[in-house]
Amino acid sequence: MDTTAQTVTETAIPSGHPCTAAGPASEPMDVATALIQLTGLVQGIYARVSERHDLTPVQAKLLCVLLEGPRGMADLAQIFGVERAALTGLMDRAEKRGLARRDPVPGDRRALQATLTDTGREAAAAFHAEITGQLAQLTADLDLADGEHLRATMTGIIQQHRAAFGAGPADCR
């Protein structure tokens, strides 16, 4: 493991936490523990890259979601798992920084949709490029077959979840 990934792991999951107890190298950790540790690693990388781009992780996620195109406020509230009122503060801060704006929805006077500004689109594209590059490094040492197996397994889990629970939160893709 490179020192960057090791540092992220150590800061994402405190030393001595039960989820860091993988056992001896000869004993593989169970799937749940592995997923918890991988989640901590990914979240740590996401937070570090967000900070380098002068964004909070939530702002980075908003930009990535909007990079796919304008979204209604109700849709964004569902993606973020919050009430529409809670989304207002996030959008207020994004607008204040010139990253996004709220526009009326054609044909519905009461509805608003969030859209990236040119500055927001540039910030989202730069963040997306760096985060995908950083995350790709996590699997860079896998051989082709193992990398494909991991990709197929993750895709299957995501598709099963979406089929059972509806479309999940979007993120940088």
Give me the amino acid identity at 97: R
Q: Which two tokens stand for residue 124?
A: 């989202």
Residue with token string 């979601």: 65
Which residues partner with 100 through β-bridges?
A: 116
pLDDT at 164: 80
Q: What CATH number does domain 56-165 carry, 1.10.1040.10, 1.10.10.10, 1.20.1740.10, 3.30.930.10?
A: 1.10.10.10
Kindly tell me if the per-residue pLDDT of 2 is higher than 80: no
Task: Give this prediction's pTM.
Answer: 0.75
Between CA 173 and CA 167 the distance in angstroms is 15
Single-letter amino acid, residue 112: L
What's the pLDDT tens digit per position in 15-69? Answer: 444 445 545 555 788 999 999 999 999 999 999 999 999 999 999 999 999 999 9
Q: Name the residue ranges covered by the structural domains of the chain.
A: 1-52, 56-165
Q: Is 100 helix (H, G, I), strand (E, B) or coil?
A: strand
Residue 97, SS3 per DSSP: coil
156 DSSP β-pair partners: none
